[in-house]
């Protein structure tokens, strides 16, 4: 992906670190990519619109919807409105965008649900070291991607032969978390999330009151 974003998208040139994709394209005389295809409307895109760098990162780099950020914001607003919860950023990977998580959720529960990711991260250095011993040099971009896929495959648990319903899965997840961290941690999850949201709003509301309404005549005045 680095080769694609640093070279191919700027006409097989070299894009300096820190320079935006659009600026590098203008400097190289390369027109920006645009969306094309008959199915664009079904995913909320318009033919001819410029493909932004963030959209390309989401689609090509993460395999997600090009407007995943907007979808996630809408979901966060819906959850906040329905449940009275708030969100806060958490740094997961240095140099990458922080992950937005529900405020007040016990970090142990987050780590418990992230076991799969940790298994992959633990397996990858071992596979990389074996590759370097075998080949005599660090893996390139394609080899690193293949190693990441291998780490994902070898840490994947066997699938259950019998399909379970969502209520059954929820009950299993709840029981597993309760056994690991105590029934109280699970039972008071929503209560603690609402308390954390209230604390956040105490800090945020004075700022909102100061910045709204905007200066000038009231938009509702006649």
113 and 191 both lie in a single domain? yes
137 and 197 both lie in a single domain? yes
Per-residue pLDDT for 1 more than 60? no
Q: Give domain status of residue 195, yes or no.
A: yes
Q: Give domain status of residue 79, yes or no.
A: no
147 and 56 both lie in a single domain? no
pLDDT in tens, 85-109: 888 888 876 666 788 888 998 888 8
Per-residue pLDDT for 8 more than 70? no
* Number of structural domains in the chain: 2
CB atoms within 10 A of CB 110: 14
Q: What is the pLDDT of residue 219?
A: 43
203 and 142 both lie in a single domain? yes
28 and 111 both lie in a single domain? no
Strands 99-102 and 87-90, sheet pairing: antiparallel
Q: What is the pLDDT of residue 195?
A: 92
Q: What is the pLDDT of residue 169?
A: 86
pLDDT in tens, 10-37: 667 677 777 777 787 788 788 888 889 8
Q: What is the pLDDT of residue 216?
A: 53
60 and 139 both lie in a single domain? no
Q: What angle do CA 56, 97, 70 make, to 5 degrees?
A: 60
In which domain, by residue range, is 9 found? Answer: 1-35+51-64
CB atoms within 10 A of CB 160: 8
Return all residues near 87 (Cβ < 8 A) that are at least 6 apart: 76, 80, 100, 101, 102, 103
The 3-state DSSP composition of the chain as helix, strand, coil percent (nearest 5) reads 60, 5, 35
148 and 57 both lie in a single domain? no
pLDDT in tens, 95-153: 667 888 889 988 888 777 666 677 787 888 899 899 889 988 888 878 888 888 888 88
201 and 147 both lie in a single domain? yes
Confidence at 160, pLDDT banded by 50, 70, 90:
low
Confidence at 3, pLDDT banded by 50, 70, 90:
low
139 and 198 both lie in a single domain? yes
Per-residue pLDDT for 221 more than 60? no
Distances (CA, A) of 134 to 45, 138, 207: 46, 10, 58
Q: Give domain status of residue 123, yes or no.
A: yes
Residue 43 has phi, psi (to 5 degrees) of -110, 15
pLDDT in tens, 173-214: 889 888 888 899 888 988 999 999 888 888 776 665 555 455
57 and 127 both lie in a single domain? no
Q: Give domain status of residue 218, yes or no.
A: no
Q: What is the pLDDT of residue 93?
A: 67
In angstroms, rounded to a whole number, what is the distance separating the alpha carbons of residues 44 and 30?
Answer: 26
pLDDT in tens, 167-182: 998 898 889 888 888 8
């Amino acid at each position: 992906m680095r080769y694609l974003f640093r070279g191919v998208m700027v006409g097989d040139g070299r894009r300096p670190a820190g320079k935006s994709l659009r600026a590098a394209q203008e400097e190289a005389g390369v027109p920006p990519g645009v969306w094309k295809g008959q199915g664009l409307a079904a995913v909320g895109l318009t033919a001819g619109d410029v493909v932004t760098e963030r959209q390309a990162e989401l689609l090509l780099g993460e395999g997600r919807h090009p407007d995943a950020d907007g979808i996630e914001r809408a979901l966060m607003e819906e959850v906040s409105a329905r449940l009275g919860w708030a969100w806060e950023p958490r740094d997961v990977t240095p140099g990458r965008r922080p992950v937005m998580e529900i405020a007040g959720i016990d970090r142990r529960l987050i780590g418990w649900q992230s076991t799969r990711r940790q298994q992959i991260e633990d397996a990858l250095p071992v596979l990389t070291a074996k590759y370097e011993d075998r080949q005599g040099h660090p893996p390139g971009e394609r080899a690193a991607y293949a190693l990441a896929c291998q780490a994902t495959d070898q840490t994947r648990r066997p699938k259950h032969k019998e399909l379970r319903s969502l209520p059954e899965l929820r009950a299993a997840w709840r029981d597993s978390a309760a056994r690991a961290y105590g029934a109280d941690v699970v039972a008071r999850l929503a209560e603690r999330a609402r308390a954390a949201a209230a604390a956040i709003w105490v800090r945020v509301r004075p700022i909102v009151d100061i910045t709204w309404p905007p200066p000038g005549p009231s938009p509702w005045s006649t």
